[in-house]
Structure 1
Amino acid sequence: MAEHVFYDRHGLPMKTSAKTLASETDFTSVGRFSRSFDESVASGLRPKAVPGILKAAAEGDMFDFLTIAEEMEEREPHYGSVLGTRKRAVSSIDMTIEAASTNDKDQTIAKACAELINQPDFIDMLDDALDGLGKGYAAVEMMWDTKSPIWMPRDFVWQDPRLFQFDKDHRRKLKIREEGNPVGLPLSPGKFVTHMPKLKSGKPVRSGLARVAIWSFILKSYTIKDWAQFCEVFGMPLRVGKYHPNASEDEKRKLMRAVLQIASDAAGIVPQGMDIEFIETSARGGDAVFGHFAKYLDEQVSKIVLGQTMTTDSGSSRAQAEVHNEVRLDIKAADARQLEATLNKDIIRPFVDVNFGRQERYPTVKLPVQEPEDLERLANVLERLVPLGLTVAVADVRDRVGFSDPPEGAEVLQAPAASRPAANRRKAVNTTETADDLLDEIGQDELAQWERQMDPIVKPIRDLVNGAGSLGEILEGLNQLAGNMDESELARGINRARLKARGVGDVKG
């Protein structure tokens, strides 16, 4: 059977077969596990058991930790929601391929890689790889199509992280678990996408978000349970049955049954002469104690996972939430950068090696994180600086606001003639414009520059008023200002308008 060679990050060759690449790993052949994957760890879990679970995970036995990390996503709505938000913030980014260079060979390789990442299953695989955010690592197995001219991973299967373990020496290299084999089995080259997010310095086994969020999960589960008991006891009025001193034991039993059942049935019958009294309880404040504590725990989980609380339960304004954009941008960018590294290491390099041979430089997957543009601020900057002489390319502004260049002949939105810059107005004039239309526009350019024209005239008056100590000084100073006023700019504007009017008059005849 022909073997195919991949190269690790150090350039060392790793051989594998087409059959291995095309088929899914048979994990049942590596041994029978003593514990079932269906067992629950969260059910009945007490706080005193958590340190033992975390210690065992740090030492390499991650079975219970990974089980409870999975259950936390199912049992705790807030944790599952914010963790899903963080995953989708990265997996929803449009991926691109950047070629190694501009030569034809590198462009051909980049085009093949683009076909690979544009597969629908490839997009879905990103969410499975990001499962490592909560658990510390994730393993996705690739099934290759080895029958087509270009060998390509077609199916991506999420594999339960409990099927794997870290090496005993450094706990950084992932291996397949085997019962009775403490060393484990090596992963087949070119078969697995192993994503280990670096959320903190240290070993991957201690990096999962669930390791920090587990305490909030335990405390909140007890809080909700106590709140439910509080509501059950104090949420309904106390029911007291009163019977006659001569009542028989059978009548007493009937009264007790009626008292017990009236809470759920809202109806009941009692013998004549017996009463049921409802006593309103004065106990209140369950939401102030249990509700506030549950909300506090949710906010801590939001900080752990999203880096902020404004888009979850803090009651902040919509504007604040939009600024935070659900996941803090620096966290989103770090997640995207780390996922890029995993995709390039575990998918792009093996794909290029098996189809095009080893390369000096490889194409790279990019997950560009775009910072939301503050369009109002951009508009204010342009409005203030462009009249002062700042030149800005229209294409740059369109890119910032997300608009494309209009095709030739397309109907476009334009500012009214009175507010458009002179150069743009001249471009907008068409062959059907009449002399009367031109006459109406005379003075608009000059009017737009009125502040620059009038400032040399008004400035001496402004300086006099600012420096005078009394009204008398102002009146006396006005007689001496005529020679200090510069009306040349205003005169030039009036002269330009007169020349335009003369030109239009010549056109009209």
Structure 2
Amino acid sequence: MSGIWVSPTQFMDVDDLKKSDLGSEMYTYLSATGFDPASWLGTMPDPDPVLEKMPNAGMDALRAVLADHKVTASVQSRKLITLKKQDWVLEPGHAEGEEPTDDAVRLRDMLSRDLERVDLYNLFSEILDAPLFGYTVVELVWSPGNRSMSLSKMIPRPPEWFGWGSDNKLKFIDVSAVGVDVDPRKAVAVRHFPASWNPYGLRLLSRCLWPVAIKKGGIRFWTTLCEKFGMPWVIGRARNGAQRPERQEILRQLSNMVQDAVAVVTAGTEVQVETTGGKASGSLHADLVKYMDNAIAMVIMGQTLTADIGSSGSKAAAETHRKLLSDYAAADEVLICTFMENLAWVYGQVNAPGVPTPTFRFREPEDYDAQADLDKKLSTTGVRFTKAHYVRRYNLAEDEFDIATDGAAQDIDHAQGKGSYTAEQQALEDMADQGRDRAAKIFDRKVMSRIKAIVQESGSYDEVQERLAKELEKGFAGADLEDLLQQAMVAADLWGRFQVNQEVKDDG
């Protein structure tokens, strides 16, 4: 009898398992709410909290958000990190530990040839719209080839043309507003953080809609304030006893004066031009606009300083924010890789079912500085690298360099002066080595411990900088390091006197 233990005391055979509910979905939208939207419209309702409050605007409202300069700059900053990576590779699919089969290599080559006719830069750019609108759908257009189907076009389509059913499958919304199933060979979709309750994905632009709207209102009031209080006021003082018609005539003449700076007024009338003594009190509106700009950058880029470091940021904080932006860029790379591998799977199902489909990845440029630093650290532990290491790691040609042996390295040291000193010179070298070691100990014991304490006790980068500056003025190491420097200066002076005396004796 075959089956499984479903509890410590209950065994179910194969026939009972087939009759059970283990292989079916029980906790669905229908069972939870008593209503299945897919039975009426074919698609699940879009739960976006912003769009559901403006059903008539929809995606057009989100596209209008892109007109804001801060949104545009943030989107471009995020996209361009990924789009500038042109070095990618399409590899034949294979099982782990095995070599690709001839069929897998052939399938990869077929897809590579088809992709040569596609503008991948703009395609990747539209795929990266998925974080903005929640998802991106690309229609595939096929053409018959030599015993295969070739990709002739890949066309990104507006996301509002599609929806998602309760079965988590892509639907096309036709003219009757009913979602119909999409042939999986005709479209590939990529989504940004979809969830069981939200198959449409997380839309970043909808989170920017209100900050953009509020910012526009703040700018409008700010502009009005600048127009009202930023221009000089022309004040006319009518003579005593002036009647209304005379006052209106003076007002008309002053209004004309604003245009041509010339006016003729009644005798006894005073005209005075007043300007505001300081800046217009618009800091409230400026702060509001800045706050909304930061909110937009935070939503799209995850941080603010790479877009506008301002006067209050520090280099360390900017580096931290740049690292966070690189994490977002890495997530965008995953979106493109996911799309391309889904495309490769569809391509394989059309042309070679059963053959492992190609894999797509970006090739990162070699960080030679980091590699050289690692090699240097390993060398201090006694590691000696072969010529093959430098050829493979640094992309050097074998005839460009040689590896120095230990003996050759010693010869280089002697050529630089080591081992060929006189007794007096060697004594001075030994003293310099001892002084260096003493200085290192003083630095480690006093300076580094004080720096660590300052960093731990400070509450911000600015406070760290301020306290370090004060410590530098006082001197970190105190008298110990000063005594050591004085000894070194005395030794250098004595050595100079000795050299002069030797030269005098030699000349004599």
On whether the aligned pair clears a TM of 0.5, the verdict is yes
Cα distance in 1, alignment partners of residues 122 and 307 from structure 2: 25
The alpha-carbon distance between structure 1 residues 65 and 246, as it changes in their structure 2 partners (threshold 3 A), is same
Q: Which of 40, 57, 70 pairs up with 1:78?
A: 70
Q: Spell out the pairing of 1:126-205 with structure 2 (5 A cutoff).
A: 126-147=124-145, 150-167=148-165, 169=166, 172-181=168-177, 183-198=178-193, 202-205=197-200
Equivalent residues of 2:229, 2:276 under 8 A apart? yes
Q: Which of 341, 347, 350 pairs up with 1:351?
A: 347
Q: Which of 104, 120, 123 pairs up with 1:125?
A: 123
Q: Spell out the pairing of 1:445-460 with structure 2 (5 A cutoff).
A: 446=419
- 1:318 deviates by 6.2
Q: Give the secondary-structure state (helix, strand or coil) at the position aligned to 1:143.
A: strand
Give the match for residue 279 of structure 1.
274
- 1:229 deviates by 1.5
Give the match for residue 69 of structure 1.
62
Confirm whether residue 242 of structure 1 aligns to residue 237 of structure 2: yes
Q: Spell out the pairing of 1:7-46 with structure 2 (5 A cutoff).
A: none
1:79-127 CA-partner distances (Å, limit 9, x unpaired):
1221222223233333211211322221222222223334442332111
Q: Which of 395, 406, 410 pairs up with 2:397?
A: 406
- 1:398 deviates by 7.3
Cα distance in 2, alignment partners of residues 108 and 213 from structure 1: 46
Give the match for residue 35 of structure 2.
none
Cα distance in 1, alignment partners of residues 392 and 398 from structure 2: 15
Give the match for residue 97 of structure 1.
90
Letter matched to residue 354 of structure 1: V
Confirm whether residue 313 of structure 1 aligns to residue 308 of structure 2: yes
- 1:53 deviates by 9.9
Confirm whether residue 337 of structure 1 aligns to residue 334 of structure 2: yes
Equivalent residues of 2:135, 2:192 under 8 A apart? yes
Give the match for residue 262 of structure 2.
268
- 1:407 deviates by 6.3
Equivalent residues of 2:414, 2:420 under 8 A apart? no
Cα distance in 2, alignment partners of residues 163 and 90 from structure 1: 27
Equivalent residues of 1:166, 1:175 under 8 A apart? yes
1:451-506 CA-partner distances (Å, limit 9, x unpaired):
9x979x989x99xxx9xxxxxxxxxxxxxxxxxxxxxxxxxxxxxxxxxxxxxxxx
Letter matched to residue 111 of structure 2: C
Unpaired segments of 5 or more residues in structure 1? 1-51, 415-419, 428-437, 467-509
The alpha-carbon distance between structure 1 residues 95 and 458, as it changes in their structure 2 partners (threshold 3 A), is closer
Cα distance in 2, alignment partners of residues 279 and 195 from structure 1: 62
Cα distance in 2, alignment partners of residues 110 and 439 from structure 1: 52
How many percent identity over aligned positions?
A: 19
Of residues 205-214 and 116-125 in structure 1, the stretch that sits farther from structure 2 once superposed is: 116-125
Cα distance in 2, alignment partners of residues 165 and 330 from structure 1: 29
Q: Give the secondary-structure state (helix, strand or coil) at the position aligned to 1:205.
A: coil
Q: Give the secondary-structure state (helix, strand or coil) at the position aligned to 1:64.
A: coil
- 1:70 deviates by 0.6
Cα distance in 1, alignment partners of residues 388 and 242 from structure 2: 94
Letter matched to residue 383 of structure 2: L
Cα distance in 2, alignment partners of residues 143 and 301 from structure 1: 37
Letter matched to residue 329 of structure 1: S
- 1:444 deviates by 5.3
Give the match for residue 488 of structure 1.
none
1:297-326 CA-partner distances (Å, limit 9, x unpaired):
222222221122221113345676466548
Q: Which of 288, 292, 300 pairs up with 2:283?
A: 288
The alpha-carbon distance between structure 1 residues 382 and 360, as it changes in their structure 2 partners (threshold 3 A), is closer
The alpha-carbon distance between structure 1 residues 235 and 204, as it changes in their structure 2 partners (threshold 3 A), is farther
Give the match for residue 25 of structure 1.
none
Give the match for residue 34 of structure 1.
none
- 1:147 deviates by 4.9
The alpha-carbon distance between structure 1 residues 104 and 378, as it changes in their structure 2 partners (threshold 3 A), is closer
Equivalent residues of 1:132, 1:197 under 8 A apart? yes
Unpaired segments of 5 or more residues in structure 2? 1-45, 95-99, 443-508
Of residues 243-252 and 209-218 in structure 1, the stretch that sits farther from structure 2 once superposed is: 243-252
Cα distance in 2, alignment partners of residues 327 and 212 from structure 1: 19
TM-score by length of 1: 0.62
Give the match for residue 9 of structure 2.
none
Letter matched to residue 289 of structure 1: L
Cα distance in 2, alignment partners of residues 178 and 383 from structure 1: 64
1:201-243 CA-partner distances (Å, limit 9, x unpaired):
8514351111222232122122111211211111112222234
Equivalent residues of 1:137, 1:196 under 8 A apart? yes
TM-score by length of 2: 0.62
Equivalent residues of 1:190, 1:350 under 8 A apart? yes
Aligned length: 378
Confirm whether residue 210 of structure 1 aligns to residue 201 of structure 2: no
Q: Give the secondary-structure state (helix, strand or coil) at the position aligned to 2:66.
A: helix
Cα distance in 2, alignment partners of residues 211 and 285 from structure 1: 34
Cα distance in 2, alignment partners of residues 350 and 439 from structure 1: 61
1:367-396 CA-partner distances (Å, limit 9, x unpaired):
3566x9493x66555445424413346665
The alpha-carbon distance between structure 1 residues 458 and 188, as it changes in their structure 2 partners (threshold 3 A), is closer
Give the match for residue 430 of structure 1.
none
Give the match for residue 24 of structure 2.
none
Equivalent residues of 1:134, 1:210 under 8 A apart? yes
Equivalent residues of 1:97, 1:366 under 8 A apart? yes
User: RMSD of the TM alignment (CA)?
Assistant: 4.3
Letter matched to residue 66 of structure 2: E
Q: Spell out the pairing of 1:366-381 with structure 2 (5 A cutoff).
A: 366-368=361-363, 373=367, 375=369, 379=372, 381=374
Give the match for residue 328 of structure 1.
325
Letter matched to residue 97 of structure 1: L
